């Protein structure tokens, strides 16, 4: 509990260079969007977007480095991740609300909106891929607990491979449906379908990025520290959440969506 006592030097001001560049990078994201869509100035958008990306990568890299060299982390990452997941559930909830509201109130016209290309084979394959990835990350966590870091890193890598396969297959599926005339703006099924699956896939991508950092931590030995331990546990929890969410997303967007 009193670990933070160690980190603070009496009478000294605490500061860190990294939150500000990350903050500016995040400010530039809406500005990029506004430059592109409101001011109709693509050059400005490219400038904002580029600067944002550079600042973000530098800021986060510096942040991670500082996190492991000094800082006040006290293994509180797990409760924070749990609260974060609760808020994520609500975000998904809003999209489910929109989807089911339309599904219930437009039940008569809904069947006309279902495209012919919609089938349940691909979502089934995607489900198996994600289940497998949940298993591999769980094994990786077990191996890490018993101190076999290299083997653990291999299983994290396997999880990344499965997650990437999921993303690629999903994007191909989207392109296929989109070219068949089923788009984001067709009707509420199109909107609900692409928004639910799109938001979910964006979470997959974030999960994959966090795993890249995990591999670095495992191989460099930093995962053995208290802080690295919390990190690995937290991202594992996040990945399980994304997998469970997929079951809800897939059963809504594919199954309940395509039922006549």
Partner 1 sequence: MAAVSYKPYFSAGLKEWIFTTDHKKIGIMYGVTSLIFFLVAGLSALAIRLELYQPGLQYMSEDAYNKALTIHGVLMQFWWAVAIWGSFGNYLLPLMIGARDVAFPRLNALSYWFFFAASVLALITLLPGNHIRMLWTGYPPFSLNDNAGPVAFYALIIHMLGASSLASAINLVVTNLTMRAPGVTLKKMNLFLHSFLAMNVIQILGVPALAGAVTMLLMDKYFQTAFFDPTRGGDPLLYQNLFWFYSHPVVYVMILPAFGLISEMIAVFSRREIFGRTSMIIAIWGIAILGFMVWIHHLFTSGVPDWIRILFSYTTVLIGVPTGIKIFNWVFTLYKGSVRFTTPMLYTLSSIFMFLIGGLTGIPLGLPAFDIGVHDSHFVVAHFHYVLGMALTLAVFGGFHYWYPKFTGRMYNELWAKIALVLVMIGSNLFYFLQFIVGLEGMPRRYADYPAIESWIRLHELQTIGSMILGFGVILAIANLVFSTKIGKKAEDNPWQSPSLEWLIPSPPPPHNFDKIPHMPEDWDPYHYEWLEKQHKKH
Residue 50's closest CA among 66, 65, 64, 36? 36
Rg (CA), the chain: 21
Task: Kindly tell me which of 88 and 117 has the beta carbon lying closer to partner 1.
Answer: 88
Q: Which of 199, 234, 197 is nearest to 214 (CA)?
A: 234
CB of 167 to partner 1, least distance (A): 20
**Nearest-approach distance from CB 180 to partner 1, in angstroms:** 18
Q: Which is nearer to partner 1, 8 or 226 (CB)?
A: 8
Of 212, 74, 218, 214, nearest to 146 (Cα)?
218
Q: Is position 108 an interface residue for partner 1 (rule: CB under 8 A)?
A: no
Q: Give dist(CA 66, CA 70) in Å, integer.
A: 6
Residue carrying the six token digits 């995607």: 126
Of the pair 109, 124, the CB lying nearest partner 1 is at 109
Residue 1 makes contact with partner 1 by CB under 8 A: yes
Q: What's the N-to-C CA distance of the chain in angstroms?
A: 57
- By CB under 8 A, residue 248 contacts partner 1: no
Binding residue for partner 1, selected from 53, 138, 139, 186, defined by CB under 8 A: 186
* Contacts (CB under 8 A) with partner 1, residues 15-34: 15-20, 22-24, 26-27, 30-31, 33-34
Query: Dihedral, CA atoms, 191, 193, 89, 259, nearest 10 degrees?
Result: 120
- Judged by CB under 8 A, which of 41, 105, 202, 220 binds partner 1? 105
Q: State which of positions 47-66 bind partner 1 (CB under 8 A).
A: 63, 66
b/e string for 27-53 if b means 16 or more Cβ within 10 A? ebeebbeebbeeeeeeeebeebbeebe
- What is the binding site for partner 1 (CB under 8 A)? 1-2, 4-5, 8-20, 22-24, 26-27, 30-31, 33-34, 37-38, 63, 66-67, 71-74, 76, 79-80, 83-84, 86-88, 90-91, 93-95, 97-98, 101-102, 105-106, 109-110, 113, 184-191, 195
């Amino acid at each position: 509990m009193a670990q933070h006592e160690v980190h603070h030097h009496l009478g000294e001001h605490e500061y860190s260079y990294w939150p500000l560049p990350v903050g500016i990078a995040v400010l530039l994201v809406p500005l990029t969007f506004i430059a592109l869509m409101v001011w109709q100035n693509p050059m400005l958008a490219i400038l904002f977007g580029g600067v944002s990306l550079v600042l973000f990568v530098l800021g986060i890299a510096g942040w991670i480095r500082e996190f492991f060299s000094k800082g006040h982390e006290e293994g509180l990452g797990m409760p924070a991740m749990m609260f974060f997941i609760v808020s994520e559930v609500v975000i998904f909830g809003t999209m489910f609300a929109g989807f089911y509201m339309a599904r219930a109130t437009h039940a008569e016209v809904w069947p006309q909106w279902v495209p012919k290309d919609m089938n349940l084979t691909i979502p089934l394959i995607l489900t198996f891929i994600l289940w497998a990835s949940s298993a591999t990350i769980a094994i990786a966590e077990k191996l890490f607990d018993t101190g076999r870091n290299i083997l653990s890193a291999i299983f994290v890598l396997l999880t990344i491979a499965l997650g990437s396969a999921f993303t690629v297959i999903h994007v191909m599926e989207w392109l296929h449906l989109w070219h068949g005339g089923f788009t984001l703006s067709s009707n509420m099924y199109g909107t609900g379908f692409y928004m639910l699956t799109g938001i979910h896939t964006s979470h997959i991508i974030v999960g994959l990025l966090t795993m890249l950092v995990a591999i670095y931590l495992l191989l460099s030995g930093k995962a053995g520290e208290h802080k690295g331990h919390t990190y690995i546990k937290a991202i594992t929890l996040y990945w399980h959440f994304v997998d469970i969410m997929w079951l809800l997303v897939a059963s809504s967007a594919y199954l309940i969506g395509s039922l006549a």
